[in-house]
Amino acid sequence: MRMMKLYHSPSSPFVRKVMVVAHELGLASRLELVPSAAHPVNRDAGLVAANPLGKVPALVTDDATVLYDSRVICEYLDREAGGKLFPATDALRWRVLRDQALGDGLLDAAVLARYEVAVRPEPCRWQPWTDGQLAKVTSCLAVIEADADRYGERVDIGTIAIGCALGYLDFRFADLGWRDAHPHAAAWFARFAARPSMQASAPPAAPAAAPSTPPVTSGAPAARGSR
Ligand SMILES: N[C@@H](CCC(=O)N[C@@H](CS)C(=O)NCC(=O)O)C(=O)O
């Protein structure tokens, strides 16, 4: 079997995207997971040697090509497996890629808000900046809610990205209670999250004592793990 190496962190939602894709395509057994301590300040030298951005995920293919980021890796895996997670031609392609951008963009904002409490020392925090990131999360959720009934049973890179984004809100931002104002998204996610690929890639349980949501006023202590 031709193995590939995936620079991995179990708590990264972008890594989860890749793992969901790998499971959906039947490629998960070809991935050797390389534990990585991605961090925006304390950089993991081994990871930086593969990906100059120092971010997970990064993939080393069986011919030693290094690929990043999650979008490129997911498309590579789809081609490798002859999959259909990236529709090739019809109008659905642009909808699917747009949905991937929506899920990834929600995650970019949520991860930055998370770093604000998990990484940045409290005296350096700027609450309006965190609020701005969380406002992006809120406006992305509004679009997901409006579209969710049309996702149907779609399983593609768009719905996978959105599924991983909603899963990350559950993991790190449970206090947001995103389901309350987004019942259509919640109903879709309940079905999608039950997929074996989502179950197999679920993040570890967050510690009960740690705050998961950056506060709307400053002052939260740093929680375990940065992602
Ligand atoms: N656009 C990238 C985002 C990857 C990303 O932000 N990964 C985070 C972990 S969730 C990371 O490695 N952060 C370390 C850093 O910011 O230096 C992708 O799609 O792969």
**Which of 9, 36, 56 for a ligand 1 pocket mutation test, highest count of atoms within 8 Å of Cβ?**
56
Ligand 1 atom closest to the CA of 115, numbered from 1: 16
Rounded to whole angstroms, the Cα distance separating 116 from 125 reads 7
Q: Please write the tens of the pLDDT for every residue from 145-172.
A: 999 999 999 999 999 999 999 999 999 9
Start-to-end CA span in the chain (Å): 32
pLDDT at 224: 38
pLDDT of 88 over the 70 cut: yes
* Same domain as 58, residue 153: no
Closest CA to 172 of 35, 47, 16, 28: 16
Look at 204 and 217; give whichever has higher pLDDT.
204
Write out the residue range of the structural domain in which residue 99 sits. Answer: 92-200
Tokens of 124: 């350096």
Last residue of a domain, one of 26, 46, 81: 81
Percent of the chain exceeding pLDDT 90 equals: 88
Burial (CB < 10 A; 0-12, 13-18, 19+), residue 127, is: middle
Q: Is the CB of 104 under 6 A from ligand 1?
A: yes
What pLDDT band is residue 197 in, cutting at 50, 70 and 90? very high
What pLDDT band is residue 26 in, cutting at 50, 70 and 90? very high
pTM of the model: 0.93
pLDDT of 227 over the 90 cut: no
What pLDDT band is residue 83 in, cutting at 50, 70 and 90? very high
Whether residue 139 lies inside any domain: the answer is: yes
pLDDT of 216 over the 50 cut: no
* Same domain as 185, residue 156: yes
pLDDT at 80: 96
- Quote the number of domains for the chain: 2
* Same domain as 119, residue 176: yes
Q: Are 26 and 81 in contact (CB under 8 A)?
A: yes
Ligand 1 atom closest to the CA of 13, numbered from 1: 10
Q: Which residue, by CA, sits nearest to atom 13 of ligand 1? A: 55
* Same domain as 115, residue 23: no
pLDDT of 32 over the 60 cut: yes
pLDDT of 79 over the 70 cut: yes
* Same domain as 103, residue 187: yes
* Same domain as 196, residue 122: yes
Q: Is the CB of 16 under 6 A from ligand 1?
A: no
- H or E element in which residue 8 lies: strand 4-8
> Rounded to 5 degrees, what are φ and ψ at 156?
-150, -175
Q: Please write the tens of the pLDDT for every residue from 93-139.
A: 999 999 999 999 999 999 999 999 999 999 999 999 999 999 999 99
* Same domain as 166, residue 96: yes
Ligand 1 atom closest to the CA of 47, numbered from 1: 12
Q: What is the CATH number of the domain that holds 41?
A: 3.40.30.10
Whether residue 227 lies inside any domain: the answer is: no
Q: Give the bridge partners for 31, in sequence order.
A: 4
